[in-house]
Chain A
């Protein structure tokens, strides 16, 4: 499979993610995108380095195995099926996502790439995915969908990291794995506490503190 195909698939997943209202479908899409993240470096032919092969395998195991497990456990407890009444509607989200993707292409155009970089789509895809994650984080109410947003944001950074992973493996790999693993883990714990305190994980309830 060519890396460009996988990158295009990642960007399509972005659009589907912002348009879906069902929480478990959003989780499935995030898992699918996570597995794509693991496949892209292999398709780019980076699998010849043992450490990148390991990174890809760990990414697939975490994003395709461990995180869905955490999500399924949380879903069983909180019994939420649908994102009700998001701050930004699905049609508007879709248009914003399209605008963000367009903007990413423009931005990436202004950033010169080192000669010989093969998948030139990597930078715009990274920025677009980052933007999608951000959009999900600010426009959704349930804590679970917000964590999905955080995962997608992380995927954006991961995609950019692939540009550097051959030259600066330590920086990229520790950064990405630490951020992902610990971030999601701690958020999972807090979601549990939100559930205990409010009997719901709608973060709309988390609005008692304001001026």
Chain B
């Protein structure tokens, strides 16, 4: 049944190749997305009883990430028909097919129980997303696509070498195929330490390039800046989450082998560096899509920072994955609307958008407030908890630095965002026929409401899944992982079994 999660989007992609009528072809997107989401909700009920030797199956961690991606994809797919209607000159067939293939490959990655399968999924995903970045077929987009392909391929090649190193670590401990994650984690003591450490460093650099951690992020501002907002949203919330998941799986093996402390130090370093780097490049950023790209670098930094702190912070890093994906979809899609309306994405031309596109600009502003950590939106919950975990779990300096960077990013980002949304309209502005409509704004409202809802209340089944997922990444069963004590308000839902 779970395999259908992979097959449905891939079959839909194959179908979309042959549909000749554009109006019908584009409807395949929302239909597939809703079907996928519905099926996922059914399959997710069984995340607790995943068979040991399965090659494909959803556990708590994979289920959580796929749920985030499926919701994000549904929002984008509902937005897509109205967006493509605005771009009749472009190749819709390739666009639709690549989007659907992306969903299928994301499902494959989340279901993969073997590092090799996960790697294949991510590699293929890199290639299917390249045509999406090239959507506009101009000089800038070919440049962005080339950088994305070259850097992404090098990253993914390093990740392959890292995966082979981990396999060699197992081979040294006389552990042979099939090297499923569960098996690697259960037999963690037998893995050869030097190979495991070297393998982790390579996968961190490799998958870190795909996530866009500084200093390996240089493809990101170009790619996000030149693609349609809808692709930006999927890259920032989907592809990066996939790379993060692949990295977390290897981290789970490393922590199960007792080398977690080594890995966490690297995570902390990359996390702080990414946030600081993003802050520097946000200062005086006139291009609001590139601004969002640097915000994505920052939030990838927050994710790995949370994992590096560990314990409670790791769980909230996983929560942040959902918060970031939802709010980024609002930001990128509304930025895309503003871009359509002004035929520009740069500051002197685009100011005072609240008058021309009140709904999109309002959502862009709300998204900005949410992503920078204003309560009661979801990112506030995760950022606050990661910071407080850092301060209480023995990282007072890093915790303070984390808060300072968040504050600095709020200030620098607000500079550009305030001008875009509330500034005095520029005399150089261009008139375009674009107007906010129900179809181009309603999906964004849904995403915003979800981000708000997630900030106010996390449903019990999701909470249980998150807790189990954070145990997985820290090395498996609670006895071995050295988890910190639960906050008292949690009624220990990991013990609940259906």
Contact = CB atoms under 8 A, between A and B. Distances in A.
A179 B119 CA distance: 10
Given A168-B171, A168-B177, A209-B140, A161 B120 contact: no
A187 B147 CA distance: 11
Interface string B404-436: 000000000000000000000000000000000
Interface of B: 115-116, 119-120, 123-124, 127, 130, 134, 137-140, 142-147, 149-150, 153-154, 156-157, 160-161, 163-165, 167-168, 171-172, 176-177, 179, 192, 194-195, 198, 221-222, 225-226, 281, 285, 290
Given A190-B130, A197-B139, A172 B150 contact: no
Nearest to B283: A211
Contact of A211 (B130, B226, B290): B290
A176 B156 CA distance: 11
A170 B116 CA distance: 9
A198 B198 CA distance: 41
Interface in A157-211: 157, 160-161, 163-164, 167-168, 170-172, 174-176, 178-179, 182-183, 186-187, 190, 193-194, 197-198, 203, 206-209, 211
Given A112-B192, A197-B138, 5 more contacts: A137-B154, A157-B164, A190-B134, A206-B147, A211-B281
A163 B194 CA distance: 16
Interface of A: 110-112, 114, 130, 134, 137, 143, 146, 150, 153-154, 156-157, 160-161, 163-164, 167-168, 170-172, 174-176, 178-179, 182-183, 186-187, 190, 193-194, 197-198, 203, 206-209, 211
A179 B123 contact: yes
Contacts of B165: 160
Contacts of A114: 171-172
The 6 closest A-B CB pairs, nearest first, are A206-B143, A171-B116, A209-B222, A197-B139, A197-B142, A157-B161
Contacts of A150: 150, 153-154, 157
Given A161-B164, A168-B177, A193 B171 contact: no
Contacts, number: 121
How would you classify the secondary structure of chain B's contact residues: helix, strand, loop or mixed?
helix
Contacts of A143: 146
B162 to A, nearest CB: 10
A167 B176 contact: yes
> Chain A contact residues: over half helix, strand or loop, or mixed?
helix
A70 to B, nearest CB: 15
B278 to A, nearest CB: 12
A60 to B, nearest CB: 20
Nearest to A113: B172
Contact of B143 (A110, A178, A208): A208
Q: In the complex, which of the residues A153, A164, A168 has the most CB atoms of chain B within 10 Å of its own CB atom?
A: A168
Contact of A175 (B160, B198, B225): B160
Contact of A208 (B115, B140, B163, B168): B140
A187 B123 CA distance: 14
B195 A111 contact: yes
A179 B145 CA distance: 18
Contacts of B198: 111
A172 B171 CA distance: 13
Nearest to B119: A175
A42 B304 CA distance: 43
B139 A198 contact: yes
